[in-house]
Amino acid sequence: MAHLPEDARHRLRDVALKAGAVVCGVADAAAFEKHAPAGHRPADFLPGARAVIVVGGAAPRAGDWQASPWVLQTMGTTERIQGVGRRLAQYVEAEFGYYALYLPPGTESGSNPFVSLMLAAELAGLGSRSLAGPVLNREHGFLYWSAVATTAPLPVDGPEDEGACPAPACRQMWERERTTPCLSVCPIDGGGCLGGELVNGRPVRHSYDRDRCATRVHTHWIGGFQQVLEATLNEPDREKRKMMLYGDYFTRTLWALTYSSTNMAQCFECLRVCPAAHGLRPLE
Amino acid sequence: MFVLDPEIYRRYRDQVLALCNSFQRIGQRGFSDREIAERLGLEERVVTEIRCVAERDMYGLDEWQRAIEFKRRVSREWQAAALKRPDLKEPPKPPEP
């Protein structure tokens, strides 16, 4: 068995932060068993996995949050943090002599992930679930995540005790109006995606409509493409078919698909209004 | 290519959607395709197909158009409030011709 240097964690963190991550933690691979179904745990992809290294970063800039959804979606940030994950996997194998597998960030089938990167971030103590859905880091707010499973016996972190959600402003709003900024902007009872409440100061999400959320987050993406394709095939009028295929919606969708992941996420409205999502430092 | 029997899809769609992650709660995960298959007495491959088709089939094209209108409206409302620029708010819709 390879010898793991005592400062392995420290070195990994250094490499991650130099590569562009803002946070780095390690989750116990066995901890996934309690939360994730079989087939979606790190050891299902890397037999013998003991730890999962998780990095977060590439958050939207303060200027991005001010922009329209059509500008915000062109940040291309997921790619940047994915590169950090790939680099860490290479580093673990080259420097420590243990297997390391970059956990794929895409979907295994339909909307289901291979491994939940948000769960990995939670188990690595880097953040916790918000009412809006994404895992928020207490210092940096909303981040993108990347994870590497490894057989290296790294010391692990545990989930954090207190999350960034709800922010103090949201607690006050809840006391006053029985809603929060995210629930108010996208309410499930009003044609949106989110339903929940604060119980003893903690977020309890009652419902989240993932498929409606997909129409907003992936407005110009694979689902919309399939919808237009079906509608076009069913449309008997040739002129109308032309309007559907050459129109703005389908053209934008094709641009998004061919730009690949720089246009993956296209709705940020629940996080735009979230006081905990934008990090700590205010700008003028 | 495995093509799902539309009758099987119609029969099980709602049950699969209710059991998977389409509607989520904090601290209560949805079931995997394998787990759903065990509950409904179906093959895992059949459940995967039902779920994938149902995810796409849940909302029609109108909902995708509404998504565009939603994002435009709420982002402009937020900008108007955050930047203290009421002029950035979505203008009222013109009357129908």
pLDDT category at A75 given cuts 50, 70, 90 is low
Asked whether A267 and A60 are in contact (CB, 8 A), the reply is no
pLDDT digits (tens, 9 = 90+) for A176-190: 999 999 999 999 999
pLDDT category at A260 given cuts 50, 70, 90 is low
> Can you give the pLDDT at residue A1?
61
Residue A261: pLDDT above 60? no
Neighbouring CB atoms inside 10 A of B56's CB total: 18
pLDDT digits (tens, 9 = 90+) for A202-258: 898 888 999 999 999 989 889 999 999 999 999 999 999 999 999 889 988 988 888
A180 closest CA partner among A266, A276, A265: A276
Asked whether A87 and A19 are in contact (CB, 8 A), the reply is yes
Among A69-83, A86-100, A264-278, name the most confident range: A86-100
State chain A's mean pLDDT as an integer: 91
Cβ-based contacts of A266 with chain B (< 8 Å): 71
Q: How far is CA A142 from the centre of its chain?
A: 8
Nearest CA in chain B to A274: B78
Domain ranges of chain B: 6-57, 60-92
> Can you give the pLDDT at residue A71?
80
Q: From CA B55, how far away is CA B75, in angstroms rounded?
A: 26
Distances (CA, A) of A82 to A102, A109, A145, A206, A278: 9, 20, 8, 31, 21
Residue A262: pLDDT above 60? no
Residue B92: pLDDT above 90? no
CB contact under 8 A, A37 and B34: yes
> Can you give the pLDDT at residue B97?
74
**Edge-to-edge order in the sheet of strand A144-150:** A21-28, A51-57, A144-150, A100-102
Token readout for A266 is: 């296209």
Neighbouring CB atoms inside 10 A of A240's CB total: 12
Asked if the interface predicted TM-score (ipTM) of this complex is over 0.90, the answer is no
Chain B residues within 8 angstroms (CB to CB) of chain A? 20-26, 29, 31-35, 48, 51-52, 55-56, 58-61, 63-68, 70-72, 74-76, 78-79, 82-83
Q: From CA A34, how far away is CA A36, in angstroms rounded?
A: 6
Query: Structure pTM?
Result: 0.89
pLDDT category at A76 given cuts 50, 70, 90 is low
Residue A191 phi, psi dihedral angles, 5° rounding: 80, 15
> Can you give the pLDDT at residue B1?
83
> Can you give the pLDDT at residue A69?
82
A216 closest CA partner among A194, A243, A231, A241: A194
Q: Report the amino acid identity of residue A130.
A: S
Q: How far away is chain A from the Cα of B30, in angstroms, using its nearest Cα?
A: 9
Nearest CA in chain A to B35: A37
Q: From CA A169, how far away is CA B73, in angstroms rounded?
A: 23
Token readout for B15 is: 């049950």
Token readout for A126 is: 């880097």
Residue A196: pLDDT above 70? yes
Q: How far away is chain A from the Cα of B95, in angstroms, using its nearest Cα?
A: 23
CB contact under 8 A, B24 and A205: yes
Mean pLDDT of B51-77: 93
More confident residue, A177 or B86: A177
Q: How far is CA A264 from the centre of its chain?
A: 11
Q: At CB < 8 A and 24+ separation, what contacts does A177-181 make?
A: A180/A131, A181/A273, A181/A274, A181/A275
User: Which residue carries 């039902």 as its tokens?
Assistant: B50
Residue pairs between chains A and B whose CB atoms are closer than 8 Å: 114
Token readout for A196 is: 């929940």
Cβ-based contacts of B61 with chain A (< 8 Å): 224, 227-228, 231
- From A66, A203, A267, residue closest to B71, measured CB to CB: A267
Q: From CA A166, how far away is CA A203, in angstroms rounded?
A: 6
